Homo-oligomer: A and B are copies of this chain.
Amino acid sequence: MDQLLKDAQRIKSLEIQGATNVAMSAIDFLSGYAKRLKYNEIGKCLEDLYKAREILNNTRPTEPAMRNGLKYIMSQLEKEKHDCSLEDIPDKIEAYKNKYRQLLLNSKKKIAEIGARRIPESDKKFIAMTHCHSSLVIAILIEARQQGKNFKVINTETQPRLQGRKTARKLLKSDIEVIHVVDSAMRWAIKHFQVDLILIGADSITSEGTVLNKIGSRLLALVAHEENIPFYVASPLLKYNPETNLGTLEKIEMRDSNEIWKDPPEGIQIVNPAFETIRRRYIDGLITEAGIFASSHVPNYFAKMYPEMVE
């Protein structure tokens, strides 16, 4: 258990980042834990694995892809528990991990394909906009560019960690024109450049169709709403957090104040929320591996595509 707690700490401390990486690592840690188990009764062993999962689940408040992954592993183990010996478990976990990774990769590919259709072929230059860094949004834009489409991307720098710079670099590398602005210029830029489409990623989605994403996302949604600009969120269904259906509220992670000000004056209170929530009324559509639809439908599509992960 000591090793698992250390492993969990690596997730907690953000040493491991990115929804897919985190999910894969958590499954590895579960598998490592399973290898170290000494029981000869499978029921007892599963019981311990559930406890280990709990520890991993609690490392980060907003990692539904990890939680859904761990649930997937456990529900598969449950199904096969009568047909397998204890030694098989680590291998089985490994096998399901690969399946789960494949689910995430497939959904990314599908989303890139679907999302790219929303960027038109036209002689007039189309203006897209994004905020922060989402590998799915980048995948959509690169797919569209590879289809020869003609567009620019407005990109916010995304203080305090400047993930917008990472986005800018990746887009430039793929031969996509980038216009870079400070976060507070988002409204001015939307109006000035007459943005046609806003695309962001998601950290988590609730049963009501609320999306949790980087701080500033809700602000951008508000401007999109005022200016009547289409606002889309690209996300695998595996970012759905089924616990929200039972009333659990997404927690907003508060990060270290020195990300914002290294040597602040004494007495100041610096608050550094990592995320904010966007209600469904501001989201024109969710782009998922199951297609494009209103975000309130996420639980239905999740249940249809991933019945083994439903509570």
Contacts and interface: CB of A to CB of B under 8 A. Distances in A.
A248 interface: yes
Nearest to A286: B208
A265 B188 contact: no
Contact of A228 (B117, B178, B191): B191
Interface stretch (A14-22, A26-34, A87-95, A271-279): A271-279
Nearest to A245: B291
B168 A268 contact: yes
Interface stretch (A39-47, A96-104, A212-220): A212-220
A284 B226 contact: no
A284 B208 contact: yes
Contact of A116 (B187, B208, B247, B276): B247
Contacts of A267: 172, 177-178
**Residue among A114, A252, A292 having the largest count of chain B Cβ atoms under 10 Å:** A292
A260 B188 contact: no
Interface in A223-251: 223, 226-228, 244-249
Contacts of A294: 208-209, 280, 296
A117 B216 contact: no
Interface string A252-288: 1000000011001111111111001001110011010
Contacts of A215: 182, 184-185, 188
A50 interface: no
A8 interface: no
Contacts of A284: 208, 279
A183 B182 contact: yes
Interface centre among A183, A189, A276 (most CB of B within 10 A): A183
Interface stretch (A54-62, A75-83, A158-166): A158-166
A117 B251 CA distance: 12
Interface in A296-310: 296-297, 299-300
A247 B207 contact: no
Contact of A216 (B185, B244, B246): B185
A170 to B, nearest CB: 10
A294 B118 CA distance: 23
A141 to B, nearest CB: 14
A169 B261 CA distance: 13
A250 to B, nearest CB: 12
A169 B270 CA distance: 13
Interface string A105-127: 00000000111111010000000
Given A168-B265, A245-B292, A294-B296, 10 more contacts: A116-B247, A160-B182, A180-B261, A183-B184, A185-B272, A187-B219, A188-B218, A188-B276, A246-B292, A279-B284
The 3 closest A-B pairs by CB, nearest first: A184-B216, A117-B247, A245-B291
